[in-house]
Amino acid sequence: MFNHLEMASPDKILSLMGLFRDDPRPEKIDLGIGVYRDLSGHTPILACVREAEQRLLAQQDTKTYVSPVGDERFTQALTSLVFGDHEKLERMSGLQTPGGAGALRLLAGLLAQARPGGRIWVPDPTWTHHHAVFADAGLDVRVYPYLNGVTHAVDVEAMLDTLLRVQPGDVVLLHGCCHNPSGADPTPEQWRAIVDVIVQRGLFPFVDLAYQGFGEGLEQDAAATRLIARHVPEMVIAYSCSKNFGIYRERTGGAFVLGETASKAAAAKSQLAVLARLAYSMPPDHGASVVRIILEDEPLSIAWRVELATMRDKIQKARLTLADAFRKRTGGDRYGFLARHKGMFSLLGTTADDAVRLREDHAVYVVGDGRINLAGLQLGSVDRFVGAVLSQTRQ
């Protein structure tokens, strides 16, 4: 049965975890895997999460099955978090998924079912897993230009020029905020231009919203998604609670559908539930229950927002400190984009060979495409990191 199977290629990001763990050098720096680390270098359990878990332990009296759609109250609370008091909520349906990745795959399956072999356009660059997930669902994956490699800003002209030539009905993947891996987001004016083209060409938006609250704030980071929803008849959204609630291993997310009518959205949800039943039967309950408890309890929700702001502020401080350190060492502003970007990640501009040398010669771990995780950078390591990067890029 397995004679013709070959060893799978290792995941370029996850494989760094093992390499870093096995590295005995005490000065090692991990900017690979996308997790938040506090001032001590630890990925903490948020205090609000601990409190919610204690309440859950005290209140929960059964471990019986829920359903393929998961916790409906969780989905309702998450819908309000993403869309606020949006007037089209009656046309919105959703269900709980095993993380944001589960939402991506489930929604990709729904789109492939609705239009077999349909095209989906993803930004260049994008999270590497996007390509694999969409191809696995049977979608035809294409790319549109997104990042200007010189300015490290969104190349909105090239992006719109391509989207203007995309066929009506094609799906367009958009990062709702904190673009992964570049950290470069469109401005509000650019978002309006993007939405105008989507409406003009009759394109189908697919929003990946994995970092709400890590950019500028919960409301600001949801603004683009809400803008799109106000102007299109249909869209889908994949949501992750991993980062903003710090519950990475609990695999907690949501898949949402905006339909032309409430009945069409309900029909789409019913098909998502079938796909969920086929793939994993039903999602894990613990993380969703924790998030629901937090969002439904006002004092706990306020405490979560404070902790989220603390994480966001640390990331921004790391960005400003790193950009300033590069400026002092180089005498120029080549790395000034680091201070302007949002969220966990930025592309440093290093090559795959640079990444190998940084790891082997300096115990610095970055992804091969040059992505660095600012949420994992410790301020005490900034000078050594800058020195290591410059020693390689100047060769």
Catalogue the active-site residues. 127, 208, 210, 243
Q: How do beta strands 204-209 and 92-97 pair?
A: unpaired
166 backbone dihedrals φ, ψ, rounded to 5°: -75, 145
Distance between CA atoms of residues 346 and 317, nearest Å: 14
Three-state SS sequence of 244-305: CCCCHHHCCEEEEEECCCHHHHHHHHHHHHHHHHHHCCCCCCHHHHHHHHHHHCHHHHHHHH
The CA radius of gyration of the chain, in Å to the nearest whole number, is 21
Task: Tell me the C-alpha to C-alpha distance, in Å, between residue 57 and each of 111, 131, 213, 282.
Answer: 38, 39, 27, 21
352-362 and 382-393 helices, crossing angle to 10°: 130
CA atoms within 13 A on the CB side of 109: 17
Q: Name the amino acid, one letter, at 323.
A: A
Residues contacting residue 45 through CB under 8 Å, at least 6 positions apart: 246
Residue 303: how many CB atoms within 10 A of its CB?
Answer: 18
Cross-strand bridge partners of residue 49: none
Distance between CA atoms of residues 262 and 267, nearest Å: 9
The structure tokens 């966001």 sit at 312
Q: Name the amino acid, one letter, at 334.
A: R
Distance between CA atoms of residues 354 and 360, nearest Å: 10
Residues contacting residue 380 through CB under 8 Å, at least 6 positions apart: none
